[in-house]
């Protein structure tokens, strides 16, 4: 008998990291009925990913409202999921990571006594308020999960230390599967000239790629971070600073106010995934507070300065391709200056490493679920 799997997600990074997994389950049509529910906690930024990977949703909760609060998405999303679960009656609900959609997806499944599979389980910063609310979202999703698919050995260890119930499988991070699939799709779509979107770039120009959107940094830390970028742009007029600005109004206001008047800073709209990968690949240095970028940039051999006080993605730091620099204007400027002006320091960080996965995480997850549901022999899974 086929098993029904319901994916619940709602933001850009969840969609990117789940796209290859959904496609992998859909290939096993004889075993799995794969259904997709998007909360649409994000709208445009989610749709960009759905379009690129040619994914369609079976349910769209259309939650997003401008400037939404955590209460908004939690309450409206949880209620809307009740009807979806009543209709679909899945055998298992898959959620990814640490967004509010991931947490309420797990909670809704629990209320209906449906099993929960948590992808990218076990990340911990150890600080309840940083990243906020992600640290608690993933911890609570973990408590509700029956199957924990962790990206790294240390994530598995975190769950074991917390005596987490359920089964733990170390499979790597599906972000690497997405990255590889993304690069493959870009190469297949050979008629598209990705560079044409970036006609402001000079051929040999050094690019610093910037993204930032964390809630715990809103207010003063975010102003500091923007001021640091301004200082750097003034100190290095020959370097181009490209910032695809997140659509959150709490991000856009300070970014536009502090950074819009400098010639070597390009504030651009969020890019679709292939254009973003193209730009990251072309960059010299990445300044970010994003979780996903900390995982992707090491694979592409790009040094990353992580503009946060804590990170749950410690493997890139240990591998030496990422450095935690906080949100102090002075420190960000010093650390970026060192990499922009000292080739040896840059070369030390610019090495391609893959601490987060080998690009086969999705196959491992599908095989594990086959084993769980159909008791099939699975090779290569711990
Ligand atoms: C959310 C996640 C965060 C994740 C991030 C990825 C939560 C609480 N936060 O944060 O974990 O790292 O997504 O980007 O789950 N907006 C748009 N269009 C969009 C997307 C957002 O206009 O396509 C604007 C809206 O005004 C929206 C606001 O951004 O209200 C905030 O979106 P929200 O999902 O609540 O928070 P993020 O900061 O995006
Ligand atoms: N990304 C994208 N377009 C952009 C910026 C980022 O497609 O303009 C991708 C990026 O490659 C990564 C993911 O979005 O896979 C990261 O999303 P975000 O920073 O919003 O969330 P986080 O990873 O911090 O949760």
**125 in Cβ contact with 131 (< 8 Å):** yes
Q: Under DSSP, is residue 122 helix (H, G, I), strand (E, B) or coil?
A: coil
- The C-alpha atoms of residue 257 and residue 148 are separated, in whole angstroms, by 42
State the distance from the centre of ligand 2 to the C-alpha of 372, rounded, in angstroms: 32
Q: What is the pLDDT of residues 226-264, one digit of tens each?
A: 999 999 999 999 999 999 999 999 999 999 999 999 999
State the distance from the centre of ligand 2 to the C-alpha of 242, rounded, in angstroms: 14
Whether 214 is a known active-site residue: answer no
Rounded alpha-carbon distances, angstroms, from residue 20 to 2, 28, 82, 175: 21, 13, 26, 9
**303 in Cβ contact with 346 (< 8 Å):** yes
Q: Is 310 in the pocket of ligand 1 (CB under 6 A)?
A: no
Whether 246 is a known active-site residue: answer yes
Whether 360 is a known active-site residue: answer no
State the distance from the centre of ligand 2 to the C-alpha of 276, rounded, in angstroms: 8
- The C-alpha atoms of residue 160 and residue 30 are separated, in whole angstroms, by 34
Rounded alpha-carbon distances, angstroms, from residue 316 to 38, 91, 223: 30, 35, 26
pLDDT for 377 equals 55
Point out which residues pair with 286 in neighbouring strands.
209, 304
For residue 336, give the nearest of 203, 260, 239, 246 by alpha carbon. 239
Q: Under DSSP, is residue 377 helix (H, G, I), strand (E, B) or coil?
A: coil
- CB-CB neighbours of 351 under 10 Å: 13
**277 in Cβ contact with 292 (< 8 Å):** no
Residue 84's H or E segment, with its range, is helix 70-88
Cα Rg, the chain, nearest whole Å: 20
Whether 98 is a known active-site residue: answer yes
Best mutation site among 247, 251, 292 for ligand 1, i.e. most ligand atoms within 8 A of its Cβ? 247
| Residues in the chain, total | 382
pLDDT for 178 equals 98
Residue 55's H or E segment, with its range, is none
Select which of 134, 224, 309, 312 is catalytic: 134
Q: Is 290 in the pocket of ligand 2 (CB under 6 A)?
A: yes
pLDDT for 354 equals 87
pLDDT for 382 equals 46
Q: What is the pLDDT of residues 299-334, one digit of tens each?
A: 999 999 999 999 999 999 999 999 999 999 999 999
Q: Is 98 in the pocket of ligand 2 (CB under 6 A)?
A: no
Q: What is the DSSP string of 310-346?
A: --S--HHHHHTSEEE--S-HHHHHHHHHHHHH-HHHH
State the distance from the centre of ligand 2 to the C-alpha of 292, rounded, in angstroms: 6
Cβ contacts of residue 71 below 8 Å, gap of 6+?
none
- CB-CB neighbours of 249 under 10 Å: 9
Point out which residues pair with 115 in neighbouring strands.
92
Ligand nearest to the CA of 215: 1
State the distance from the centre of ligand 2 to the C-alpha of 12, rounded, in angstroms: 6
Q: Is 253 in the pocket of ligand 1 (CB under 6 A)?
A: no
For residue 23, give the nearest of 178, 184, 148, 176 by alpha carbon. 178
115-119 and 147-150 strand pairing: parallel
Whether 275 is a known active-site residue: answer no
Give the position, in ligand 2's atom list, of the atom nearest the Cα of 288.
19
Select which of 120, 146, 295, 296 is catalytic: 120
All residue ranges of the chain with pLDDT < 70 are 376-382
Rounded alpha-carbon distances, angstroms, from residue 315 to 60, 188, 319, 321: 35, 31, 6, 9
Whether 148 is a known active-site residue: answer no
Task: Determine if the pTM surpasses 0.85.
Answer: yes
Look up residue 356 and give its two tokens. Answer: 């987060």
pLDDT for 187 equals 82
Burial category of 83 from C-beta neighbours within 10 Å (exposed 0-12, middle 13-18, buried 19 and up): exposed
């Amino acid at each position: 008998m086929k098993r029904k799997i319901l994916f619940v997600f709602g933001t850009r990074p969840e969609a990117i990291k789940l796209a290859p997994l959904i496609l992998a389950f859909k290939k096993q049509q004889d075993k799995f009925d794969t259904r997709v529910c998007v909360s649409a906690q994000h709208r445009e930024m989610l749709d960009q990913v759905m379009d690129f990977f040619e994914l369609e949703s079976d349910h769209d909760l259309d939650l997003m409202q401008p400037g939404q609060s955590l209460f908004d998405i939690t309450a409206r999303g949880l209620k809307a999921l009740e009807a979806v679960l009543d209709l679909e009656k899945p055998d298992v609900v898959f959620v990814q990571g640490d967004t509010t959609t991931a947490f309420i997806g797990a909670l809704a499944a629990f209320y209906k006594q449906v099993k929960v599979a948590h992808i990218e389980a076990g990340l911990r910063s150890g600080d309840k308020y940083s990243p906020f609310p992600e640290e608690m979202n993933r911890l609570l999703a973990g408590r509700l999960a029956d199957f924990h698919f962790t990206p790294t050995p240390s994530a598995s260890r975190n769950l074991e230390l917390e005596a987490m119930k359920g089964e733990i499988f170390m499979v790597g991070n599906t972000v690497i599967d997405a990255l590889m699939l993304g690069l493959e799709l870009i190469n297949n779509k050979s008629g598209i000239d990705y560079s044409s979107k970036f006609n402001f770039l000079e051929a040999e120009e050094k690019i610093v790629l910037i993204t930032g959107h964390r809630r715990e940094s809103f207010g003063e830390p975010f102003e500091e971070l923007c001021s640091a970028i301004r200082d750097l742009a003034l100190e290095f007029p020959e370097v181009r600073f490209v910032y695809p600005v997140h659509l959150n109004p709490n991000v856009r206001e300070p970014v536009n106010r502090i950074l819009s008047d400098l010639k070597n800073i390009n504030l651009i709209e969020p890019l679709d995934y292939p254009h973003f990968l193209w730009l990251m690949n072309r960059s010299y240095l990445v300044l970010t507070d994003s979780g996903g970028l900390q995982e992707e940039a090491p694979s592409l051999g790009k040094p990353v300065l992580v503009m946060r006080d804590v990170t749950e993605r410690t493997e890139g730091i240990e591998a030496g391709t990422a450095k935690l620099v906080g949100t102090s204007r002075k420190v960000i400027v010093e650390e970026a200056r060192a990499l922009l002006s000292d080739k040896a320091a840059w070369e030390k960080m610019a090495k391609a490493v893959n601490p987060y996965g080998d690009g086969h995480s999705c196959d491992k997850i599908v095989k594990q679920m086959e084993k769980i549901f159909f008791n099939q022999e699975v090779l290569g899974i711990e």
